[in-house]
Amino acid sequence: MIFINFKNEFNFEYDIQALIRGFYPGEELKSIMPGEKIEACDESIRFIVSFYYFADNINIEVEDCSGNILIDKRVKTDYSDRKETKNILKRALYDVLSEITGKELPWGTLSGIRPTKITSALLESGMKKEIAKKYIKDTYYISEEKAKLSLEISANEIEILKEIDYEQGYSLYIGIPFCPTTCLYCSFTSYPITRYKEKVWAYIDAVCKEIDYISEEFKDKILNTIYIGGGTPTTLEPEMLDKLLGKIVNSFNLCDLKEFTVEAGRPDSITVDKLKVIKKYNVTRISINPQTMKQETLDIIGRRHSVSQVIESFKCARGLGFDNINMDFIMGLPGESIEDVKYTMEETKKLMPDSITIHSLAIKRAARLNIFKDKYKDYEYVNGEENMQLTYKTAREMGMEPYYLYRQKNMTGNMENVGYSVKGKAGIYNILIMEEKQPIIALGAGASTKLVYPGGERIERVENVKDVNEYINRIEEMIERKRGAIIEWKKI
Ligand code: SF4
């Protein structure tokens, strides 16, 4: 455990904790607030890091339980700019932690989920790439590789989004929260389809009621992208997909639609008949997600599908004319070495998808991998710059460019998630959900609508209940909840 001792009132507790976690993943942290005392200090305590300010100095002191000062650092600030003060404090703490551990963090002092928010703002302000790179390296201690990656992605994002109308446009998300089985690392709202079979029609009917309301309420707006995700939308039977997709196509004006995605996801849920229905409604982009091409790992993580099912469903979709297929992969899966990742990438190259999304495994509290962690403690979770460079190189060999990036808490190797695509096949919705520049109207259980106010200054969220039964039973209430927030949003 590490004690974080705030001797004065500090506003940056969250940032300080996040940075310490970057250097000490999984370590327990305890904040001691001004006026509180450190109770027992014994060998279970790694060290105490204290923060206090005096005049124009911020002091950081690291001591052991016996009171021996290990490091004492002082930095100057005039506190006039909150953001600048935070950056000065974080750089000082980074130096301290780097000295103790001998480590550097690829993303430096950045702990937020969207590094590209910073780089996009710099490029949009007209700053040259080289100057922007120097700025983010100096300000946030970002490594050369990550600085280059973030800038490259920002430039691509800006280009992809230039035709999106933020004022009049919006995107639509529909969540199908059913899956064939629950993956070991899953922390989403997902119900095993076999146990919820009886509920699925009622669920679709409830979603259709939301569609009726939104298509009317937004009839003067421009629908830019549609994303059907989950869960696994292809757990729906062909006639269910037919009803849902038919309802969408008949309810909304799709003249300006730039992308229509169905995340097929699990290969064990995909059939020819389902793909034919999806094709019939002119869905432009689908995702077939292997996560890995190593069968042993698929078995460990509870995907219950084979590598050959991945290949068969991909070839079947291509045969039916799908010309924009994404594949998701996860780095840091239990027991996977860099050699396994190499193998997965080689197998993927044989299929030549149009885009790939590389995720770094993030173990969340609700995931079975966390709940039953003792069972999986003997596996290594290998992820790092080597994985990222290997996947970057493979994407390049397939003619792809990186186009979106985000980070999460507790990612293995403190890495990132990156989307790559060949030209013209980027997942536009993926960028929009990260950039928060236009409203995303989300339908279905657990779906979270984001109403972006003009200029992106304020975002209002409207949540649907997570539980499927509750969602079905309280659908009118969910619609009224949306209506209230949308009426307010439209007033501005
Ligand atoms: S397919 Fe996705 S949503 Fe379904 S259980 Fe696996 S991780 Fe969760």
Kindly give the distance from the C-alpha atom of residue 193 to the centroid of ligand 1, in angstroms, as a whole number: 12
Are 177 and 446 within 8 A, CB to CB? yes
Are 253 and 199 within 8 A, CB to CB? no
Kindly give the distance from the C-alpha atom of residue 287 to the centroid of ligand 1, in angstroms, as a whole number: 13
259-282 mean pLDDT: 96
Kindly give the distance from the C-alpha atom of residue 178 to the centroid of ligand 1, in angstroms, as a whole number: 8
Ligand 1 pocket member 265 (CB < 6 A): yes
Which ligand 1 atom is the nearest neighbour of the CA of 231?
Answer: 3
**What are phi and psi for residue 410, nearest 5 degrees?**
55, 40
Pocket-testing residue among 178, 182, 268, ligand 1, by greatest number of atoms within 8 A of Cβ: 182
Tens digit of pLDDT for each residue in 285-340?
Answer: 999 999 999 999 999 998 989 999 999 999 999 999 999 999 999 999 999 999 99
- Residue 376 makes CB contacts below 8 A (sequence gap 6+) with 184, 300, 334, 369
Cis peptide before 424 (omega within 30 of 0): no
Kindly give the distance from the C-alpha atom of residue 210 to the centroid of ligand 1, in angstroms, as a whole number: 24
Ligand 1 pocket member 232 (CB < 6 A): yes
Mean pLDDT over all residues of the chain?
A: 94
Tens digit of pLDDT for each residue in 144-183?
Answer: 999 999 999 999 999 999 989 888 999 999 999 999 999 9
Residue 270 has a pLDDT of 96
Nearest to 265 by CA among 362, 372, 179: 179
Within 10 angstroms of residue 59's Cβ, the number of other Cβ atoms is 16
Which ligand 1 atom is the nearest neighbour of the CA of 189?
Answer: 3
Q: C-alpha distances in angstroms, 58 versus 8, 72, 131, 321?
A: 10, 11, 29, 62
Amino acid at 222: I
Residue 291 has a pLDDT of 97
Atom 2 (ligand 1) nearest CA: 231
> Over 80: is that where the pLDDT of 39 sits?
no
Which ligand 1 atom is the nearest neighbour of the CA of 179?
Answer: 4
Which ligand 1 atom is the nearest neighbour of the CA of 266?
Answer: 1
Residue 288 has a pLDDT of 97
Pocket-testing residue among 262, 266, 300, 359, ligand 1, by greatest number of atoms within 8 A of Cβ: 266
- Residue 118 makes CB contacts below 8 A (sequence gap 6+) with 110, 136, 140, 150
Residue 370 has a pLDDT of 87
Q: What is the DSSP string of 293-309?
A: S-HHHHHHTT----HHH
Kindly give the distance from the C-alpha atom of residue 61 to the centroid of ligand 1, in angstroms, as a whole number: 44
Handedness of CA 353, 359, 364, 367 (dihedral sign): positive
Taken in order of first residue, the domains within the chain and their CATH numbers are 2-101 (3.40.50), 115-150 (no CATH), 169-484 (3.80.30.20)
- Is residue 345 very low, low, confident or very high in pLDDT (cuts 50, 70, 90)? very high
3-7, 304-308, 354-358, 359-363: which is most confident: 354-358
- Is residue 265 very low, low, confident or very high in pLDDT (cuts 50, 70, 90)? confident
Ligand 1 pocket member 109 (CB < 6 A): no
Which ligand 1 atom is the nearest neighbour of the CA of 302?
Answer: 6
pTM tops 0.85: yes
> Over 90: is that where the pLDDT of 472 sits?
yes
CA pair distance 211, 489, nearest whole angstrom? 19
> Over 90: is that where the pLDDT of 44 sits?
no
Tens digit of pLDDT for each residue in 79-121?
Answer: 889 899 999 999 999 999 999 999 999 999 998 778 999 999 9
Atom 6 (ligand 1) nearest CA: 183
- Is residue 43 very low, low, confident or very high in pLDDT (cuts 50, 70, 90)? confident
Ligand 1 pocket member 179 (CB < 6 A): yes
Residue 409 has a pLDDT of 81
Tens digit of pLDDT for each residue in 438-463?
Answer: 999 999 999 999 999 987 789 999 99
